[in-house]
Amino acid sequence: MNVLRYCCEALLDAQAQGDTTDVPLYSLIVASDLLEQEAVAHSQPWIGWAANQVSELHNPLAHAESAAIATAAAYLQNERLGGYSLISCLEPCLMCSGAIMHARLDRVYFFCTADKGPGLRYLCNTTRSTPMRLNHYPAIFWLSEYNTRCRAQLQQFFEKKR
Ligand SMILES: [Zn+2]
């Protein structure tokens, strides 16, 4: 199993086991060059990991993506995360996309597209005809092979809540 797949499986496992009041969404930050490797050398190859904790913390800023970025930047003692990638269950929202720009992340991978509002692809012009000038563009990868599993796990969460 390569490092990218290993990281994706870890996020989906966390989502499957998520037992909180918050929607089970997780993100991690990993060195981009590690993602090219075929063998997983460490059980936790990421430097930042976070869960969505908006309800638990009563904090609208506590999205998994922004929290993972904050954790990784604190770990590196550097607010710039060039050379690193974010992997997330959901396409980052506009707030987290802003954090991705400011952190200068190389790449963003996600499983499910944002359907409730504009997200990273909108900000980075991939779904709009009117270009917006930004100081940084990450490479964006929709890992559609994980879409069905991620959505099913989210649906299970919402069905349990009803
Ligand atoms: Zn967000």
Each residue's pLDDT tens digit, 22-62? 999 999 999 999 998 888 888 899 999 999 999 999 999 99
pLDDT over 70 (residue 71): yes
Angle at 68 between CA 63 and CA 69, to 5 degrees: 105
C-alpha span between 156 and 162 (Å, rounded): 10
C-alpha span between 19 and 29 (Å, rounded): 22
64 CA to middle of ligand 1, Å?
Answer: 7
CA dihedral 157, 43, 28, 152 (to 10 degrees): -20
Terminal CA-CA length for the chain: 37
Residue type (1 letter), 33: D
C-alpha span between 107 and 136 (Å, rounded): 11
The secondary structure of 15-71 as a DSSP string is HHH--SSS---EEEEEEGGGGG-SS--SS---SEEEE--HHHHT-TT--HHHHHHHH
Which residues have C-beta within 8 Å of that of residue 34, sequence separation ≥ 6?
Answer: 3, 45
Beta partners for residue 28, in sequence order: 49, 87
Residue 36 falls in the annotated catalytic set: no
39 CA to middle of ligand 1, Å?
Answer: 31
Each residue's pLDDT tens digit, 115-153? 888 889 888 876 666 767 788 889 999 999 999 999 999
SS3 118: coil
Structure tokens at 103: 């952190």
* Residue tagged active-site, from 38, 56, 65, 145: 65
Please tell me the predicted confidence (pLDDT) of residue 128.
63
Please tell me the predicted confidence (pLDDT) of residue 162.
79
67 CA to middle of ligand 1, Å?
Answer: 9
36 CA to middle of ligand 1, Å?
Answer: 26
62 CA to middle of ligand 1, Å?
Answer: 8
Please tell me the predicted confidence (pLDDT) of residue 115.
83
Please, are residues 86 and 64 in contact by the beta-carbon 8 Å criterion? no
